[in-house]
Structure 1
């Protein structure tokens, strides 16, 4: 007895699922960066802005199979230097195989965060919430790397 299985169309289905996952991650990353720029949703303190560089510098990259498939750094035109620093961190920094990476390219971002201020915490909380809703709680793991 010979059994023949037709798996045509399976590759297309897998590609559709991957593209859907990419779109969910892009949307969550975009919303998380916008939230970080607009308001504090974390329990950390909100810092004072003197130059607005730190507030303009947050950005995100969606990484799939080790490659950036989406880069979002929405700094305004008056803060092009801050935007460039964040883009460099995201493009040339350590990337996971799959995930969403956040960065703030200002050199003092980690110092401000270490003093208990919200630099990227709201973005992290927002993306975690959105991805858990999209993919299910057991499928989302948020980690911090410095």
Structure 2
């Protein structure tokens, strides 16, 4: 007795696309959660003295899927260089979903090289959350 397909192929394709959209939505939600956690840690645990508030406020994240910016948070400083850099970097990742976390002030690497925690703890937190949420 042969097996006969009775479901129209259009319905099968629609189901697959709906399931894929749900998976992408869950991934974006997970990346947002990871980004918020990293952002919180970067702002709360930065080991440097932030006299002006600029460095902590310049920290933020961008989420992109297939090179399209999906979400952006943080980057509360007047200087938009950090956000522009994060978006530019995220747009170069065609075919992937990415989370880019960065500190937007041009002296952030200088402060980090001096031994201060600018994004180090945030990176560790992001990895821990990613392993937990994404089962890496």
Per-residue deviation at 1:2? 6.3
Give the secondary-structure state (helix, strand or coil) at the position aligned to 2:78. Answer: helix
1:116 to 1:17, Cα distance in 2 relative to 1, 3 A: same
Distance in 2, Cα, partners of 1:68 & 1:19: 14
Q: Displacement, 1:4? A: 2.5
Secondary structure of 1:9's aligned partner? helix
Q: How many residues align?
A: 127
Cα distance change, pair 135–93 in 1 and its aligned pair in 2 (3 A): closer
Superposed CA RMSD: 2.0
2:75–2:104 Cα contact (<8 Å) kept: no
Following TM superposition, by how much is the alpha carbon of 1:65 offset from its aligned partner in structure 2, in angstroms? 1.2
Q: TM-score, normalised by structure 1?
A: 0.76
More moved, 31-40 vs 101-110: 31-40
1:24 equivalenced with 2:23 (yes/no): no
Asked if 1 retains the 8 angstrom alpha-carbon contact of 2:60 and 2:102, the reply is yes
Q: What does residue 110 of structure 1 align with?
A: 109
Superposition deviation, residue 71 in structure 1: 0.5
User: Shift of residue 119 of structure 1?
Assistant: 1.1
